Amino acid sequence: MLQGKTAWITGASSGIGEATARRLAKEGVNLVLTARREEKLVALAAELEAKYGVAVALEVADVSDRPVMEVVGEKIAERGGVDILINNAGTMPISPILSGRVDEWEQMIDVNIKGVLYAINAVYSGMAERKSGHIVNISSIAARQTYQSAGVYAGTKHAVRAISDTLRKEAIRFGVRVTDIQPGAVATELPDSINHPKIRDAVKANMYAEGSEILQPDDIANAIYYALTQPAYIDVSELHIRPVIQE
């Protein structure tokens, strides 16, 4: 069903993005992979090309760098555009508001909100012209509820959910579908982006408590695959997936 299509995955160097790259390559989807860690992208691209015979282009790009994202968009347009955008890159340096880590608040806003918008802007007009496309934004369970010390992160994810829903209403007129994926706890490198030592330790202890079974990146890749493979008259507007142990 997806064979021969092309997908751009942001944040493809680890976690959910990497798992989604594997899942889509297995279905014969050609890929554009972006992230900042070039060596991870190079290794993944080589693996997927060899294993599945798909074409993989990669660009080292910080999603919060607007000019860089504009260049990525131009390169994608020159190659004929993409059918799918998996808007996944994100960061979570959470802390109590009182700790006043303003640089980290700005970083979350720049990566999680502006980065998502820059990627949408890079491909949406091309999709609208071709009257075909699917934009999948990865927000979070934190798009629906809030947690102590995660106020700014939850704010960014609430924003992604709101942007997704607004975009869906607009884009469907141009044949472009929009899905917002809202995962609960997934075993990835994301907690490593927390710089506040106490909060990082508490989050890791909570996520990886003995006997607790949290989601794996493949679980989210499967959810994305589900959304992408529904018949054209169906828009899976939101998918909210959590481990059974998570409230």
| Cβ-proximal residues to 50 (8 Å cutoff; 6+ apart), any chain | none
Burial class (CB in 10 A: 0-12, 13-18, 19+), 98: exposed
Two structure tokens written together for 189: 């490198």
Give 12: exposed, middle or buried? Use CB within 10 Å, 0-12, 13-18, 19+: buried
Find the binding residues for ligand NDP in span 26-55 (CB under 6 A).
35-37, 40
Q: How far is the CB of 247 from ligand NDP (least distance, A)?
A: 14
Sheet of 176-183: strands edge to edge?
56-60, 30-35, 6-10, 84-87, 133-138, 176-183, 238-241
Residue 4 CB, nearest approach to ligand NDP (Å): 25
Size of the site for ligand NDP (CB under 6 A): 28
Residues 128-147 that bind ligand NDP (CB under 6 A): 138, 140
Least CB distance to ligand NDP at residue 186 (A): 4
Query: Long-range contacts made by residues 112-117, C-beta under 8 angstroms, separation at least 24?
Result: 112/153, 112/156, 112/157, 112/159, 112/160, 113/156, 113/159, 113/160, 113/163, 114/63, 114/64, 114/66, 115/10, 115/63, 115/64, 115/69, 115/89, 115/90, 116/63, 116/87, 116/160, 116/163, 117/163
Q: Which is nearer to ligand NDP, 60 or 128 (CB)?
A: 60
Binding residue for ligand NDP, selected from 73, 81, 93, 183, defined by CB under 6 A: 183
Min dist. Cβ of residue 30 to ligand NDP (A): 19
Task: Rank residues 131 and 206 by Cβ distance to ligand NDP and give the closer one.
Answer: 206
Residue 111 in contact with ligand NDP, rule: CB under 6 A: yes
Point out which span in 66-74, 171-179, 183-191, 227-235 binds ligand NDP (CB under 6 A).
Answer: 183-191
Mapping DSSP to helix (H, G, I), strand (E, B) and coil, where does residue 58 land?
A: strand
Of 88, 149, 164, 179, the residue at the interface with ligand NDP (CB under 6 A) is: 88
> Which residue in 5, 7, 13, 101 binds ligand NDP (CB under 6 A)?
13
Supply the residues annotated as catalytic: 153
Using CB under 6 A, which of the segments 6-14, 70-78, 194-202, 227-235 binds ligand NDP? 6-14
Q: By CB under 6 A, is residue 179 in contact with ligand NDP? A: no
Task: Give the residues lining the site for ligand NDP (CB under 6 A).
Answer: 11-17, 35-37, 40, 62-64, 88-92, 111, 138, 140, 183, 185-186, 188-190
